[in-house]
Every structure is written in C-alpha cells, then in structure tokens.
Amino acid sequence: MDPRFVGIADLAETPSVAVVVDVMRAFTVAGWAFARGAEKIVLAESLDEALELKARHPDWVALKDGPLLPGFDAVNSPGLLRSVDLAGRTVVQKTTAGTVGALAVKEAPLVLCASFVVAEATARVLQAHRSDRVTFVVTGEDGQADEDLACAQYIARRADGASADAAEFLRRAASSRAAAELAEGMREGVHPDDVALCLEIDRFPFAMVATLEDSLMVLRPHTTPGGTPQ
Ligand SMILES: O=C(O)[C@H](CS(=O)(=O)O)OP(=O)(O)O
Ligand SMILES: [Mg+2]
C-alpha cells in the first residue's frame, strides 16, 4: 500500500480511498454510539444543519463537541455516551475536526472513519479492498495531531499485514496535546475516562463506512468477516 497522510486543508483532489482519523474524540464517540445501538450517524456540516435535522426528526439525537447547547441532546464524549441507550436511534454529529474531515472527502468512493477503537477492523476493510493508494486524513491540528497520525500509521501498517506494536502508537497518542488538554480540563463536554477510552485498541469489531445518502453523509458500522458483532 502507498499511504499518504494529509491534513484536511491539504486535500487537493478527491481520493479513491480515504481513512478519516479522529482519535480524540469524534470517531471514538462514533464507535461508542454504534456499540450503544445507534443505527446510523449523520455527519452534519454545521451546528445549524444539525439543529435543522433535529427539528425535522425530533427522535434523532443531536450531538456536538464542546459544551452542551440548547437543542442538542449529547456531547462528544465517549465517557458520557457509553451509558446512553441509543438502540435504533439516528445520531447527528457535528464536531470541530472529525466530521469536517469526513465531509471534506464525501465524494470519495470509499470513506472509512477511524480511531484506535476500530483500528483492526478498519485495516481489514482496506485489505479486502486491496487498496493501493490510501489517503489518511489526519483531522487534528492541521494534520499534525500526533494521536491521529499515530493511529493512521498503525492502521496503515496493519493493512499492509505488517506486525506493529500497538503500545508504541498508543504511547504517542497518550502524550499528544489533545490528551493533555482533555486530561487537564481545558476542553468542555469531557468525562474523566475520555482519554483512556480513546486509547482502547480494537475495542469494537466493526469498521465505520461513510456514504452519501440523499445528499447527507451517513456513517454506519461495517462488520468484516471474522469480526464479532458487539
Ligand atoms: O471534542 C473534541 O475532542 C474535539 C473538539 S475540542 O478540541 O474538544 O474543542 O473535536 P473532534 O472533532 O472530535 O476532534
Ligand atoms: Mg480530534
């Protein structure tokens, strides 16, 4: 595989295969949403769009990063979401980095949204797809977020069938600026377990595939052969 690791602003053309990585916290949260029973996640372009979707579908669960605002039901925290029953629900997610990264590649034929909790399942999809050229979108800090880069590099190694010591990559993520800011309470809408939950390698057996459905970008779990549904 010929992996490219780029920030959102560096995406010059539509990739054929995109893996959008947001470890802290959008795509760890998405994994938890599916584990708690969500049917799908609609990735919203803006807070206004998230609220419009919620107004049209009052049963949907509107989730944003940062503090909870009126009209929203949940925040972008795996520690807070893990105790919410989302059976059969549709979640609308809008965050600063992760959802923006996914929407930036919405025209790509294959879009996977990833974090450590779905790393191996994501690598298996890439293997099955026999993708030569894979663009990893490192969503945080203009493509420099080390938690996202470490996760992207780990998935690329595993997709190539190479052995990789997950602990090394997780250590980098644990030392990232995002981990420090979450731990030090510099971000809002946080549970004390968030960093630890973002560092759980292969917590879930599914990958997460985003496709355009009636002009909305919709994320769904995708269980690969050999994976056990949660
Ligand atoms: O919720 C998050 O962790 C971040 C936003 S902030 O940095 O905490 O303000 O969003 P994400 O898109 O999940 O990186
Ligand atoms: Mg992030």
pTM value? Answer: 0.96
Question: What is the C-alpha separation between 138 and 145, in angstroms, rounded?
Answer: 7
Mean pLDDT of 96-120: 98
Reply yes or no on whether the pLDDT at 129 is more than 90: yes
Reply yes or no on whether the pLDDT at 229 is more than 50: no
Q: How far is the CA of 24 from the centre of ligand 1 (A)?
A: 6
Domain that holds residue 148: 2-222
Looking from the CA of 11 toward its CB, the CA atoms found within 13 Å total 27
Q: How many domains does the chain have?
A: 1
DSSP code of 227? P
Q: How far is the CA of 178 from the centre of ligand 2 (A)?
A: 7
Q: How far is the CA of 97 from the centre of ligand 2 (A)?
A: 6
Specify if 132 maps to a domain: yes
Reply yes or no on whether the pLDDT at 23 is more than 50: yes
Q: What integer pLDDT is reported at residue 226 of this predicted model?
A: 61
Mean pLDDT of 25-52: 98
Q: What integer pLDDT is reported at residue 92 of this predicted model?
A: 98
Specify if 230 maps to a domain: no
Residue 189: partners with Cβ closer than 8 Å, 6 or more residues away: 64, 65, 66, 67, 68, 75, 76, 77, 80
Specify if 195 maps to a domain: yes
Q: Please report, for the domain that includes residue 196, its CATH number.
A: 3.90.1560.10
Q: How far is the CA of 132 from the centre of ligand 1 (A)?
A: 30
Question: What is the C-alpha separation between 72 and 189, in angstroms, rounded?
Answer: 12
Specify if 229 maps to a domain: no
Specify if 217 maps to a domain: yes
pLDDT band at 49 (very low <50, low <70, confident <90, very high): very high
Q: What integer pLDDT is reported at residue 131 of this predicted model?
A: 83
Q: What integer pLDDT is reported at residue 158 of this predicted model?
A: 97
- Ligand 1 pocket test: pick from 47, 93, 94, 95 the residue with the most ligand atoms within 8 Å of its Cβ: 95
Pocket of ligand 1 (CB under 6 A): 22, 24-26, 65-66, 76, 95-98, 140, 187
Residue 4 in contact with residue 131, Cβ under 8 Å? Answer: no
